[in-house]
Amino acid sequence: MSFCEMLEILKERNTGRIVLCNNGNFYTAIGNDAIALNKLLGLKLSCMKTGLCKVGFPINALEKYTGLLIETGYSFIIYDFNSEKEEIKLGINQKLLQRQQSVCQ
């Protein structure tokens, strides 16, 4: 599962929140979250193509940017890519197993 795919799943689970995800030495947001963070916090927006944008900041700036988000009143959640990737994979495997069991009954 790619980083962007995982962020999309996390975004679906957290409607109404900005989703930040740690990937290596940076926290990253994509899509509408990236655009919002660009406007709110002035983070540099990088767009690979229309509708596929990202922003990021180094892990040592987490306290600064989460503090600013709290001040603006925005709701956000922070994930770790490697931990969430395993959890999501496990969840997908469990759903597949449940489907297989229901088909066999």
pLDDT at 34 (0 to 100): 93
pLDDT at 44 (0 to 100): 95
Q: Residue 17 maps to which CATH number?
A: 3.40.1170.10
pLDDT in single tens digits along all 105 residues of the chain:
677 777 888 888 888 889 998 888 999 999 899 999 999 999 999 988 776 899 999 999 999 999 999 998 888 888 887 665 555 444 444 443 344 333 333
Measured CA to CA in angstroms, residue 88 lies from 2, 15, 82, 95 at distances of 12, 17, 10, 11
Structure tokens at 83: 């931990």
Q: What whole-number distance in Å separates Cα of residue 48 and Cα of residue 35?
A: 13
Number of domains within the chain: 1
Tally of helices (H runs) and strands (E runs) in the chain: 4, 5
- Per the structure, the complete domain to which residue 90 belongs is given by 3-104
DSSP category for residue 74:
-
pLDDT at 92 (0 to 100): 42
Other CB atoms within 10 A of residue 7 CB: 24
